[in-house]
Amino acid sequence: MTGVSLLWALRSPCNLGCRYCYFGTVEEHRAGLPDGPGMLSHLSRTDLDLTDIVAFVDTLPGSRVDRIFIAGGEPLIWPPVLDVVAAIKAAGVQVVLCTNGIPLNRPQLVERILAIGVDAVSVSLDSADASYNDHWRPARNGQHGHVDVSHGIRALLGARGTGSTPRVGIYTVITRRNLDAVTEMAVLAARLGCDYFVPQPIALQRGHPLHQTLSLTPADAPALERVLDRLYAEQPLPLPAPTYPGQVVATVAAAVPGMVRNCFGGTNLFFIEPDGSVWDCPSSLKIAASAHRPRRDIRGNSAKALFGPATTCADCALFSVDCVNMWPLMDFDSFLWAAGSSS
């Protein structure tokens, strides 16, 4: 595909409280919401309402947008989410749902995902070891966890039966604490019957309280390279492009942000926040660097006006682990291709 992909953080609230989440934690924000440019919070009170969201979706036909990754917060706990997804599909745009997987235990929700023809569902799970996953990705109700995510994935795959859509994959955040367990997680994904696996390096700002504990440092780069070499050698299921491990290791090995030529951010990929603001990409460095620009907003705006016509991709001097997580999104055709998925 050569059009525009949108990574749309549709809603702020979440039923989990992942300690490293780039939305921050509810505990941190109870005392006060962050107010820096583009800062996110699960407690945000500025999420767009359904009317504004649907008005924007209605402008998609005829625009360059051809794929939307719906994320959050947790998109599948918002009751109207599948009405929005159905409207996006009706506009001829592919949809990939990004979820923590717990809501997939609701049979009616799964049936509707199938009926709408969602193209893929990416589920987050950080380890084959339930105690690791549930420590870093705890449920706010203190009950749900690894077992429910696995069950939700099985339920979705079971309902799909011999059908080919949606494709179902697992995303794992790689940290210093689960580095050695990445291949085991991919093997579990294959055993569950998933169609793809994406290991993504953790991105935490230097001042984050967990930066020292979880972030991969240049000293971890050789171990990370060995881990990714093993994963790609064993290849238990489809993985991001063969160039991906090199990009991941290069950003972890670099002490400072580097230069990337012809970046797709702001040309073929855009990031939409729950308040409707539009950014070139979700990198915190890029958002901070573009905060002086006039605010772009989907509220009252059309997809054609916001995302076209095509221009030349610009070079960017802020290449970091924040960016690496975008590369598999831009290469998503390979995960959908097996199903012959089309909008």
Ligand X SMILES: C[S@@+](CC[C@H](N)C(=O)[O-])C[C@H]1O[C@@H](n2cnc3c(N)ncnc32)[C@H](O)[C@@H]1O
List the one residue from 100, 150, 247, 283 that touches ligand X (CB under 6 A). 100
The encoded tokens of residue 68 equal 């939307």
Cis peptide before 166 (omega within 30 of 0): yes
Q: One symbol per residue from 200 to 239: x for binding ligand X (CB under 6 A), - otherwise; what is it? A: x-xxx-----------------------------------
**328, interface contact from ligand SF4, ligand X, none, CB < 5-8 Å by kind:** none
Which element (helix H / strand E) includes 318? Answer: strand 314-319
Phi, psi dihedrals of residue 219, rounded to the nearest 5°: -65, -25
List the one residue from 5, 44, 124, 178 that touches ligand X (CB under 6 A). 124
**Contact call for residue 122 and ligand SF4 (CB under 6 A):** no
CB burial of residue 218 (10 Å; 0-12, 13-18, 19+): exposed
**Contact call for residue 146 and ligand SF4 (CB under 6 A):** no
| 182-192 and 146-160 helices, crossing angle to 10° | 40
**Contact call for residue 132 and ligand X (CB under 6 A):** no
**202, interface contact from ligand SF4, ligand X, none, CB < 5-8 Å by kind:** ligand X
List the one residue from 6, 16, 321, 324 that touches ligand SF4 (CB under 6 A). 16
One-letter amino acid at 268 equals: N
**307, interface contact from ligand X, ligand SF4, none, CB < 5-8 Å by kind:** none
Q: Is the separation of the CB atoms in 195 and 335 below 8 Å?
A: yes
**Contact call for residue 11 and ligand SF4 (CB under 6 A):** no
**232, interface contact from ligand X, ligand SF4, none, CB < 5-8 Å by kind:** none
Q: Alpha-carbon distance 250 to 241, whole Å?
A: 15
CB burial of residue 271 (10 Å; 0-12, 13-18, 19+): buried
Q: What one-character DSSP code corresponds to residue 312?
A: P
**Contact call for residue 21 and ligand SF4 (CB under 6 A):** yes
Q: What one-character DSSP code corresponds to residue 75?
A: G
CB of 22 to ligand X, least distance (A): 4
**Contact call for residue 10 and ligand SF4 (CB under 6 A):** no
Q: One symbol per residue from 44 to 83: x for binding ligand SF4 (CB under 6 A), - otherwise; what is it? A: ----------------------------xxx---------
Q: Is the separation of the CB atoms in 176 and 220 below 8 Å?
A: yes
Residue numbers at the binding site for ligand X (CB under 6 A)? 14, 20-22, 71-72, 74, 98-100, 124, 171, 173, 200, 202-204, 325
